[in-house]
Amino acid sequence: MAANRSEPLLLVVDVQNDFTAGGSLAVSDGEAVIPVINRVARHFAHVVLTQDWHPVGHISFASSHPGRMPFDRIDMPYGPQTLWPDHCVQGTPGAAFHPDLDIPHAQLIIRKGYQPDVDSYSTFFAADRTTPTGLAGYLHERGIKKLMLAGLATDFCVAWSAIDARRLGFEVDVLEEGCRGIDIGGSLEKAWRDMAAAGVARLPPGSTVPAA
């Protein structure tokens, strides 16, 4: 059966062990998004999960740049790059989905950040802004027009994905209660501003989540 064109899709961003308590790049209160996302996901017939998925020695790791520390910023050929602790290394427990994430009906897992020399916050394009993940084609082929985003981290992978989705012509809601940010030097407020400017709708706590 073809997808009903009016049906929205929930995009669950990077709810992985390394971004939650005990992980190498734990987002403050990150695990709080899990019960929210599990509950909301039941109202969506269509769910896609994303997974940050870096090779050992990835360019975004501070450990790959002698003399640099996590959270330093450097210039890469594709633009500025924040350096991170090693995280979400392919096949490691830190890269696995959090065990409490409970969305058995999720239909696709998009992995990103697997090119050794390019980071990818957005789940649509790598940081070079040209290498696609294939998600846009998948959504177009399935007739999806509207996305709801939730996950980690608000100011990096959620924001970049939401803004790219708008650029690609999707309607985009971001569920605030289902997100937590890293917030480096005001990055969280800036992300909400940039998302608003791109036409992303922010659903604050207490919003009625539209059911599919």
Which token pair is 77? 């050929």
Among 44, 53, 84, 124, binds ligand VGL (CB under 6 A): 84
Q: Is 164 in the site for ligand VGL (CB under 6 A)?
A: no
CB 174 within 8 A of CB 149: yes
Active site residue 157: yes
Closer to ligand VGL by CB, 14 or 31: give it. 14
Tokens 């995009």 identify what position?
Answer: 11
172 in contact with ligand VGL (CB under 6 A): no
Nearest to 151 by CA among 119, 187, 182, 105: 182
In the bound complex, what is the minimum distance in angstroms from residue 156's beta carbon to ligand VGL?
A: 3
Q: Catalytic residue at 88?
A: no
Smallest gap from Cβ 81 to ligand VGL, in A, equals: 10
Q: How far apart are alpha carbons 187 and 156 in whole angstroms?
A: 8
**Residue 18 in contact with Zn ion, rule: CB under 5 A:** no
- DSSP-assigned letter for residue 18: G
d(CA 41, CA 102) in angstroms, rounded, equals: 9
Exposed / middle / buried, residue 5 (Cβ in 10 Å: 0-12, 13-18, 19+): exposed
Q: Which stretch binds ligand VGL (CB under 6 A): 34-42, 149-157, 163-171, 204-212?
A: 149-157
What's the one-letter identity of residue 1?
M
Of the residues 18, 52, 88, 112, only one is catalytic, namely 112
Among 18, 52, 164, 173, binds Zn ion (CB under 5 A): 52
Active site residues: 14, 112, 157
Q: Which residues are near ligand VGL by CB under 6 A? A: 14, 52, 84, 121, 152-153, 156-157
Q: Which residues are near Zn ion by CB under 5 A? A: 52
